C-alpha cells in the first residue's frame, strides 16, 4: 500500500510538472507573439513617420554616428597624408570647377575617402549607365522618404545618389566607354533626380509657406543647369557660381539628414515637426541658386559681348546710377500720390496706380532728359517714345497689382512695390536706355525731320 501511494504521488508530481511546463511554454509563446506584434506595430509607425522623440532621434543618430565617424577619421588621415605626401592627384577632379563652398581640397578628399566603394564598382565591372540609372532610383527613394516625413533616410539617400552621380562618369572613363549618349543620359537624369527630391519636399510642405521656397529652389536649380547648357551650345564654358550641383546636394542633403536630430531637441513632443534645419537648407538653396543662375547669365552675356550691366558703377551722364536716381525721385512722387488717392480719396488701388504712374512718368522724363542722359535730341520724338513706354508701363503696373491682389490678405502697398520693381528692371530701364534717349534713335529722328524739312523747301 505504501508503495502504491508513492507511485501515485510521483505520477501526480510528474503530471503537474508537465502542466506547469506546458503553461510556461504557452506563456512564452504569448509573450513572443506580443513582442512580435509590438515590433511590427513599431515598424508600421516608422514607415508612416509617426515616430516618438527617441525614435526620431535614434533613427537619425545611429547612421549619422557611423558615417560621420568614418568621414571625420578619413579627413584626419587624408590631412596627414597630404602633409607628408602632398595633395592627391586626380585629373577628373582637377578639371572640375570648384567654389568657395566646396573647394578643391574637399573634392579631392572625397574622392580619396570613397575609394573603397569606387574600387568595388570598378572591380565588379558595373556599367556606368547602370550607376547613372541607380542614382536616379535612389533619388526617387529619397524624394518619397522626404514626402513621408522620413527626413534622415531621405537625406542619406540623397547624399548617396550624389555620390553615385560622381562615380558614373569616372567609371565610364576608367572602363574606356565614355560616349555622347552616356553624357546626355547623365545630364538628363540628374535633372530628374533633383526634381524628385524637391517634389518630395513640395509634397511634405504642401500646406506651408515653405512650399514657395521649394518651388523657387526648383526653378533656380533648373536655371543654373540651363544657363550652363545654353552657354555650351553657344561655345562658352559657364561653370561660375557658388551653388553648383555638388554644393546643392551636399548642403541640402546634410541639412535634411540632421534635421530630425535638431527637432528632437527643439520640439520633442511634436510628431510632425517642420524640420527647421531642412527649411534653412531649402531657403539657402532657393536664394543661392537664383544668384548663381544670374551670375552665370551675366557671365554668358559678357562672354558673348552683350553685357547689359556694363558701366553700372559709373556715375556720369547716361549711367545706370543717374537713371536710377531719376527713377527713385519719380517713384517717390508716384507712391505718395497713390497713398493719397487710396487713403484720402478712396480710389481703387489699381486705378490709383495708373494715375501715379502718369505723374511719375512726367517727373522721370524731365530728370532723365535734363540730368541723367543729358539728351540733346529732338524733344517731340523723345516725348512720343517716352509716352509709349509710360503707357505700357502704367498698364503693366496696374495689371500686375490687380493680378497680385487676387491673392487673399495681401497688402496693396506690398503688391505695388513688387510690381514696380519688376517692371522698372525688365521694361522701363532697358527701353529708356536703348529706345527713348538712345543716340541712335535721336540721330535717326533728327535725320528724318531734316529730310522732311528739305523736301518741303524743295
Grid cell of 12 as nine digits: 501526480
Domain around 15: 1-48
> Is residue 50's pLDDT more than 60?
no
Are 188 and 139 in a shared domain? Answer: yes
pLDDT of 309 > 60? The answer is: no
Q: Please report whether residue 366 resides in a domain.
A: yes
Q: If you average pLDDT over every residue of the chain, what do you get?
A: 79
Residues 252, 167, single domain; the answer is: yes
Could you give the dihedral angle defined by the CA atoms of residues 144, 150, 153 and 155, in that order, rounded to the nearest 10 degrees? 80
**Rounded distance, CA 4 to CA 10, Å?**
10
Q: Tens digit of pLDDT for each residue in 360-385?
A: 888 888 888 888 877 777 888 888 89
Q: Is residue 30 part of a domain?
A: yes
State how far the Cα of 250 lies from the Cα of 285, in Å rounded to an integer. Answer: 11
φ, ψ of residue 411 in degrees (nearest 5): -70, 135
CATH code, domain carrying 270: 1.20.120.1760
Question: Does some domain include residue 310?
Answer: no
pLDDT for res 449: 43
Q: Does one domain contain both 221 and 84?
A: yes
Global confidence as pTM: 0.70
Number of separate domains in the chain: 3
Domain end, chosen from 244, 277, 303, is at 303
Q: List the single range of 3-17, 64-78, 238-252, 332-346 with lowest mean pLDDT.
A: 3-17
Do 326 and 406 have their domain in common?
Answer: yes
The answer on 83 and 41 residing in a single domain is no
Residues 256 and 380 placed together within one structural domain of the fold: no
Cβ atoms within 10 Å, residue 140: 19
Q: Which of 252, 273, 303 lies at the terminal end of a domain, its last residue? A: 303
Last residue of a domain, one of 246, 274, 303: 303
pLDDT, tens digit, 9 for 90 and up, residues 246-287? 888 889 999 998 888 888 888 777 777 889 999 999 999 999
Indicate if the pLDDT at residue 211 is higher than 90: yes
The mean per-residue pLDDT over the stretch 433-441 comes to: 73
Please compute the mean of the pLDDT values over residues 156-175 and round it to a whole number: 87
How sure is the predictor about 32, in pLDDT bands with cuts at 50, 70 and 90? Answer: low
Examine the domain organization and report whether 201 and 338 are in the same domain.
Answer: no
CA distance 282 to 287: 9
pLDDT of residue 217: 94
Q: Which one is predicted more confidently, 185 or 271? A: 185
419-to-284, 425, 432 alpha-carbon distances in Å: 24, 10, 18
Query: pLDDT at position 431, please?
Result: 84
Confidence of residue 147 (pLDDT cuts 50, 70, 90): very high
Report helix, strand or coil for 241.
coil
C-alpha cell at 71: 568621414
Q: Is residue 456 part of a domain?
A: no
Same domain, 219 and 94: yes
pLDDT at 386: 87
> Residue with C-alpha cell 532723365?
368
Q: What percent of the chain has pLDDT over 70?
A: 75
* Mean pLDDT along residues 176-198: 88
Q: How far apart are CA 258 and CA 262, in angstroms?
A: 7
Please answer whether residues 236 and 297 qualify as being in contact, where contact means their C-beta atoms are separated by less than 8 angstroms.
Answer: no
pLDDT band at residue 197 using 50, 70 and 90 as cut-offs: very high
Q: pLDDT of 314-369, one tens digit each?
A: 666 666 678 778 888 988 888 898 898 888 888 888 888 888 888 888 888 888 88
User: How would residue 452 be classed by pLDDT, with cut points 50, 70 and 90?
Assistant: very low
At 374-415, the pLDDT tens digits run: 777 788 888 889 889 888 988 999 999 999 999 887 888 888
Asked if pLDDT for residue 126 goes beyond 60, the answer is yes
* In a domain? residue 312: no
Average pLDDT estimate for 296-306: 84
pLDDT band at 454 (very low <50, low <70, confident <90, very high): very low
Amino acid at each position: 500500500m505504501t508503495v502504491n501511494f508513492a507511485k501515485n504521488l510521483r505520477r501526480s508530481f510528474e503530471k503537474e510538472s508537465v502542466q506547469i511546463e506546458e503553461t510556461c511554454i504557452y506563456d512564452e509563446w504569448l509573450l513572443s507573439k506580443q513582442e512580435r506584434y509590438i515590433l511590427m506595430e513599431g515598424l508600421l509607425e516608422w514607415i508612416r513617420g509617426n515616430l516618438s522623440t527617441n525614435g526620431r532621434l535614434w533613427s537619425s543618430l545611429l547612421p549619422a554616428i557611423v558615417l560621420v565617424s568614418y568621414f571625420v577619421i578619413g579627413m584626419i588621415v587624408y590631412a596627414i597624408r597630404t602633409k607628408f605626401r602632398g595633395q592627391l592627384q586626380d585629373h577628373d577632379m582637377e578639371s572640375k570647377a570648384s567654389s568657395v563652398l566646396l573647394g578643391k581640397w574637399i573634392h579631392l578628399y572625397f574622392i580619396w575617402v570613397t575609394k573603397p566603394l569606387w574600387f568595388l564598382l570598378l572591380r565588379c565591372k558595373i556599367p556606368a549607365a547602370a550607376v547613372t540609372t541607380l542614382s536616379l532610383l535612389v533619388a526617387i527613394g529619397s524624394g518619397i522618404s522626404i514626402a513621408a516625413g522620413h527626413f534622415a533616410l531621405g537625406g542619406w539617400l540623397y547624399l548617396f545618389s550624389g555620390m553615385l552621380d560622381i562615380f558614373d562618369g569616372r567609371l565610364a572613363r576608367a572602363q574606356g566607354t565614355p560616349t555622347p549618349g552616356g553624357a546626355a543620359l547623365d545630364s538628363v537624369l540628374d535633372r530628374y533626380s533633383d526634381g524628385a527630391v524637391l517634389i518630395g519636399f513640395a509634397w511634405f510642405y504642401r500646406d506651408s509657406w515653405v512650399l514657395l521656397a521649394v518651388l523657387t529652389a526648383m526653378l533656380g536649380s533648373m536655371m543654373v543647369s540651363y544657363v550652363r547648357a545654353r552657354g555650351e551650345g553657344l561655345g562658352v564654358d559657364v561653370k561660375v557660381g557658388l551653388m553648383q550641383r555638388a554644393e546643392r546636394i551636399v548642403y541640402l542633403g546634410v541639412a535634411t539628414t540632421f534635421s530630425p536630430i535638431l527637432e528632437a531637441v527643439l520640439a520633442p513632443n511634436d510628431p510632425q515637426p517642420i524640420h527647421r534645419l531642412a527649411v534653412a537648407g531649402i531657403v539657402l538653396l532657393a536664394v543661392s541658386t537664383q544668384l548663381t543662375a544670374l551670375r552665370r547669365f551675366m557671365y554668358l552675356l559678357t562672354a558673348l559681348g552683350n553685357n547689359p550691366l556694363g558701366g553700372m558703377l559709373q556715375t556720369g551722364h547716361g549711367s545706370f546710377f543717374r537713371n536710377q536716381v531719376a527713377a527713385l525721385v519719380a517713384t517717390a512722387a508716384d507712391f505718395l500720390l497713390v497713398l493719397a488717392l487710396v487713403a484720402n480719396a478712396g480710389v481703387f488701388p489699381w486705378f490709383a496706380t495708373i494715375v501715379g504712374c502718369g505723374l511719375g512718368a512726367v517727373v522721370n522724363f524731365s530728370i532723365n532728359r535734363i540730368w541723367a542722359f543729358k539728351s540733346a535730341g529732338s524733344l517731340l520724338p523723345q516725348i512720343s517714345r517716352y509716352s509709349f513706354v509710360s503707357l505700357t508701363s502704367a498698364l503693366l503696373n496696374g495689371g500686375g497689382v490687380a493680378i497680385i491682389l487676387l491673392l487673399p490678405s495681401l497688402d496693396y502697398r506690398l503688391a505695388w512695390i513688387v510690381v514696380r520693381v519688376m517692371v522698372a528692371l525688365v521694361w522701363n530701364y532697358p527701353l529708356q536706355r536703348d529706345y527713348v534717349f538712345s543716340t541712335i534713335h535721336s540721330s535717326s529722328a533728327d535725320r528724318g525731320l531734316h529730310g522732311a524739312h528739305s523736301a518741303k523747301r524743295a
